[in-house]
Amino acid sequence: MHLKRLELINYKNIEIGKYDLDYTINCFVGPNGIGKTTLIDSIYHLAFTKGYFNPISTQNIKHGEEFFTLEGLFDRNGAEQQIYIGFKKGTKKTVKRNGKIYERITDHIGLIPMVIISPTDRDLILEGSEVRRKFMDSILSQLYPDYLEALLNYQRILSQRNALLKYFSSNHTFDDATLSVYDEQLVAPAQLIHEKRKAFISKFSTFFEAQYRAICPQPNEVVSVEYHSALNAQSMEALLSDSRAKDRMAQYTTEGIHKDDLLFQLNDHPVKRFGSQGQQKTFLIALKFAQYDFLKERSGEKPIVLLDDIFDKLDDQRVERLVALVKNGSFGQLFISDTNKERTESVVKRTEQSYQMIELDYA
């Protein structure tokens, strides 16, 4: 999968942008605030129909304007795929593939396999479980349409159940039969999501451990990624039944797969608390490289890789690992954003691959 051409209108801080792109490496370079991350995010948007850094469509429109459009011409195994995304305030987002509007936007997810590495990824380690569930969901949704559908159904029913619990509380009433209807509807999607996540982590952890050893071959550092879910020990039906009194008091659903988490361990201790900054960086890069390997194996394609402003955050050892992956052909098309043109060009030259430097300025 390769992006041949990218066009933007009124997307974030870019009024108009048109770029013909290299099949291997493209580098967006320029000062801070010029739009480098905007370009990275626009490519992500074309794959996932929403931004990585801000998924709210109205907030992706350039200030003072009423709409934005994104267009990307992709080459998928020799066949061109023209992707268009447009949004105007007060209307629904439009997503087209080769001129045809998707009836369901979710049908687009998975067409363009993609991995993004960004400074914000540190939230995977430092923030709460929602960020780590999003990490799992973004991978599984690209590969399994039934997973994405189950996830959307679960979230919809969960929202309705939570609204009902709040209604009961504010009106000093309770209807066990009505609540049970939502409980029954949650069971099937919860079970599918749990099974997919469990199988995913079983395979993904192998990729992750191999990547960590490749970046940091220290025999005394043992890492692991473990899937934590109440459904590992109890059925969804039992969870909802046992937590019913607590749910009524809290006015929301306190148990379920929406509480799942990933445990990141270093020598049997949480890497968040016991890992050094260097170990945490290595952990994150290994997670993302493992994500790439997993998608590549399961999709049969080399995902597009987006690297947003990471050279400031990586030491020479980790940069060299990245160069080696590109040099040996492990990566497909690569997009890099950086403030330092000379540094970036020095790195990409060492890959011995074709590349293009795209300089952005305020003109």
Taking the alpha carbons of 11, 14, 17, 20 in that order, is the dihedral positive or negative?
negative
CATH 3.40.50.300 boundaries in the chain: 1-113+303-363
Using pLDDT thresholds of 50, 70 and 90, give the confidence band for residue 280: confident
What's residue 363's pLDDT?
58
CA angle 270, 275, 279 (to 5 degrees): 125
Fold entry, domain 1-113+303-363: Rossmann fold (3.40.50)
CATH 1.20.1050.90 boundaries in the chain: 124-300
Chain center to CA of 216: 24
What's residue 137's pLDDT?
95
Q: What is the mean pLDDT of residues 261-270?
A: 93
Are 25 and 327 a contacting pair, CB within 8 Å?
no
Long-range contacts of residues 245-251, Cβ cutoff 8 Å, at least 24 apart: 247/165, 248/165, 248/168, 248/169, 248/174, 250/165, 251/162, 251/165, 251/166, 251/169
Q: What is the mean pLDDT of residues 342-353?
A: 88
The predicted-structure confidence for 150-195, as pLDDT tens digits, reads as follows 999 999 999 999 999 999 999 999 999 999 999 999 999 999 999 9
Q: What is the mean pLDDT of residues 240-265?
A: 95
The predicted-structure confidence for 82-141, as pLDDT tens digits, reads as follows 999 999 999 999 999 999 999 899 899 999 999 998 888 889 999 999 999 999 999 999
Output the pTM of the full model. Answer: 0.88
Q: Where are the alpha helices (DSSP H) in the chain?
A: 36-48, 123-126, 129-143, 145-170, 176-215, 236-242, 244-250, 271-274, 277-299, 316-327, 341-349
Smallest CA-to-CA distance from 176 within 161, 158, 197 is with: 161
Residue 351 has pLDDT above 80, yes or no: yes
Fold entry, domain 124-300: Glutathione S-transferase Yfyf (Class Pi); Chain A, domain 2 (1.20.1050)
**Three-state DSSP state, 103:** coil
The predicted-structure confidence for 284-329, as pLDDT tens digits, reads as follows 888 998 999 999 999 888 999 999 987 776 776 677 777 777 777 7
The predicted-structure confidence for 192-233, as pLDDT tens digits, reads as follows 999 999 999 999 999 999 888 887 767 788 899 999 999 999
Mean pLDDT over each residue of the chain, to the nearest integer: 91
Smallest CA-to-CA distance from 348 within 26, 37, 39, 43 is with: 26
